[in-house]
Amino acid sequence: MTIAFQVTGDGRELLVEMIGRLGLTDVADVHVRLLKALAEQPQSLLIDLSGMTVEEPLALAVFTAASRQAARWPGIPLLLCTARPPVHALLTGPAYHRLPVFDSLGTARAHARDHGGETMPAISDDLLPITGAPRHARDVATDACLRWDEPGLVGPASLIASELVSNVVDHAHTMMTLRLSLRRRYLNIAVRDGSPAEPTRPLRVPGRTDLNRGRGLLLVDASSHAWGWVPSADGKVVWASLARPRS
């Protein structure tokens, strides 16, 4: 690994400084580290590349993958900052021109402030892996939807919150944090637990209704606009999004 990371944040903004020479052998580790930064669910993620050089331009595709994940969940801007002419030229060239690239942290922060819009509401709750946790998760989701004037999302949001929490109770057996956040187009529901194990993917078998393995996530898959998971610093986050009704 030739890339060093320094991560700082204030709860709203998370700054990742990457230092070293980026090559293809670094891509997998860089991708995981960026996903772990997204798992913190900041309002914006800034990546400072002023201390980084590029050994292989194809390795920059890792930022495209991270940017796509940031857009899907948690629905935040991922902004790249570099004053190095060679790196800046590569990132603004034809292959990566869709990535938001700025020549300084100051301009990136100004862009996030001016175009990120107002801070959207969020609610979170820490839960024990006990039998009553799914019911409590349903109550939290219901309260959030009603508080945010989204009564049409009460049903699917409470179902998803309950199933994500049940998955932790049944499989991870760790403390967890349930978080619901409202974005312009989506209501996001996420559960963070202390197990790094990948959640069981749902299996669709025609005519079968007795599936136990992954059945809860099958309901999440059927009820949500999109869902997935990302590694975190101490486990993982399983997330799902619901499209908000257009007014």
Q: Which residue has the tokens 């699917």?
A: 156
β-strand pairing of 101-102 with 78-81: parallel
From CA 62, how far away is CA 41, in angstroms rounded? 19
- Banded pLDDT at 208 (limits 50, 70, 90): very low
pLDDT for the residue numbered 119: 66
- Region 92-106: mean pLDDT is 93
Q: For residue 4, give the 3-state DSSP assignment.
A: strand
Whether residue 205 has pLDDT greater than 60? no
CA distance 230 to 238: 7
Q: Would you state the pLDDT for residue 129?
A: 98
The domain made up of 122-243 has a fold known as: Heat Shock Protein 90 (3.30.565)
The residue with tokens 């400084």 is 17
Q: Is the pLDDT of residue 215 over 80?
A: no
Homologous superfamily assigned to 3-115 = STAS domain (3.30.750.24)
State mean pLDDT over 147-169: 97
Tell me where in the chain the CATH 3.30.565.10 domain(s) lie. Answer: 122-243
| CA pair distance 167, 173, nearest whole angstrom | 9
- Residue intervals of the chain classified under CATH 3.30.750.24 are 3-115
Region 18-42 average pLDDT:
97
Written as six digits, the tokens of 86 are 């060679």
Contact 218, 202 (CB under 8 A): yes
Is the per-residue pLDDT at 229 higher than 70? yes
- Over range 184-192, report the average pLDDT: 96
Residue 55 has pLDDT above 90, yes or no: yes
SS3 22: strand
Residue pair 8/42 in contact by the 8 Å Cβ criterion: no
Query: What pLDDT shows up at residue 97?
Result: 85
Read off the DSSP letter of residue 170.
I
- pLDDT, tens only, 77-89: 999 999 899 999 9
Mean pLDDT score, 239-246:
95
Specify whether the CB–CB gap between 47 and 16 falls below 8 A. Answer: yes
Q: 1-25: buried (b, 16+ CB within 10 Å) or exposed (e) per residue? A: eebebeeebeeebbbbbbeeebbee
Query: Of 51-60, 101-110, 125-134, 207-216, which gets the smallest average pLDDT?
Result: 207-216
What phi and psi values does residue 95 have, to the nearest 5 degrees? -70, -35
- Contact status, residue 185 vs residue 243, Cβ threshold 8 Å: yes
Q: Is the pLDDT of residue 90 over 90?
A: yes
> What pTM does this model have?
0.90
pLDDT at 207 over 70: no
Which pair of structure tokens corresponds to residue 130?
């006990």
Per residue in 133-151, pLDDT tens? 999 999 999 999 999 999 9
Residue with tokens 């292959």: 95
CA–CA separation, 23 and 31 (whole Å): 13
| 220-238: average pLDDT | 96
> Smallest Cα–Cα separation from 66: which of 102, 29, 110?
29
